[in-house]
Structure 1
Amino acid sequence: MRRAVCPGSYDPVTKGHLDIVRRASRIFDEVIVATGVNVSKSRFFSPEERLGMLETATADLPNVRVAGFTGLLTDFCRDNDVHAIVKGLRGSGDFEYELPMAQMNAHLADVETVFIPADPAHSFVSSSLVKEVASFGGDVAAFVPDFVLERLNARAAERSRGA
């Protein structure tokens, strides 16, 4: 079985993320969308919220499952018989950032990294940018699924009130 992992923080999951996951699901027999659950990092959404949003967002993809992980991604790969890591690339900066990690991951485990170029419609979108724009009341509806938009706007409003 050809099993791959699409790792990320997914804070929040964007349409760009989902495009990469959908495309990976056509290449591999099974795709695991894995998000780090490091509670020491400050995130907009909790690990449980991110996992729940990912499960909802990928529910229509029968060969995709969602999992959380702690520690090294290569350990997750070994534990789950994963031999490919799928990463989306928005531009050359992403490649420069991702290449050393891909090489380190190949050194640490029997795993190859597969790069999928982002759809140009999503190439400028990042979770960080989406959160920042939403925090200032900007419209990010084009970049996230509707159910994520509702949660994102509610969380941004909570944070602006200091809740």
Structure 2
Amino acid sequence: MRRAVCPGSYDPPTVGHLDVIVRTAALFDEVFVAILVNPRKQGLFAIEERVEMLKEITADLPGVQVESFSGLVVDYCRDRGAQALVKGLRGATDYDYELPMAHMNRHLTGVETLFLPGAPGQVYVSSSLVKEVARGGGDVTPFLPASVHARLVERLRLNPPV
């Protein structure tokens, strides 16, 4: 059985994230969407909320499981029997950031990293940028799955920017 891990913070999950997950699910028997728990970072959404959102938007994808994890992603891969990490790349900056980690991960455990180029029209979409635009009152509807967009709008309504 071929298994892959799509790690990330997913705060919130965007259409770009979903595109990478869908494409990975077409290539592997099982895909683990792994949300990193980083106690040093305060996200807009709690880890449990991100897990719930990702389960909602991947519910129709066979073989996709959503979990959170802490520690090294390569240890998570080993524990799940995954052969590959799959990362979406928006451009050269992402590649420059991800390549050294891919080499280190391979050195540590032999897990390969596969890079998928971002879909045209989505390469500039990031969770950080979506949150910034939404906080400023911009329309981020095209960049988020509908259920995630609804949660983001509600979260910002309850916690308006100061």
TM-score by length of 2: 0.96
The AA in structure 1 aligned to 2:73 is L
Give the CA deviation at 1:110.
1.9
Give the CA deviation at 1:108.
1.1
1:132-151 Cα deviation digits (max 9, x unpaired): 11111110000001111111
Give the CA deviation at 1:61.
0.1
2:135/2:161 contact within 8 Å kept:
no
2: CA distance, partners of 1:128 / 1:159: 16
1:33-76 Cα deviation digits (max 9, x unpaired): 00012244210000000000000010010111111100110110
Question: What SS is found at the alignment partner of 1:128?
Answer: helix
Aligned position for 1:131: 131
Aligned position for 2:89: 89
Question: What SS is found at the alignment partner of 1:67?
Answer: strand
Structure 2 residue 111 is the aligned partner of structure 1 residue 111 = yes
What's the C-alpha RMSD, in Å, of the aligned pairs?
Answer: 1.1
The AA in structure 2 aligned to 1:93 is T
Aligned ranges for residues 4-153 of structure 1 at < 5 Å?
4-153=4-153
**Which deviates further from its counterpart, 140-149 or 153-162?**
153-162
Q: Which runs of 5+ in 2 are unaligned?
A: none
2: CA distance, partners of 1:140 / 1:43: 18
The AA in structure 2 aligned to 1:24 is T
TM-score by length of 1: 0.96
Question: What SS is found at the alignment partner of 2:121?
Answer: helix
1:102/1:113 contact within 8 Å kept:
yes
Q: Measured at CA, do residues 156 and 29 of structure 1 come closer, stay the same or move farther in structure 2, by a change above 3 Å? A: same
1:72-114 Cα deviation digits (max 9, x unpaired): 1011011111110000011111100100010011111120000
Question: What SS is found at the alignment partner of 2:125?
Answer: coil
The AA in structure 2 aligned to 1:69 is F
1: CA distance, partners of 2:7 / 2:120: 21
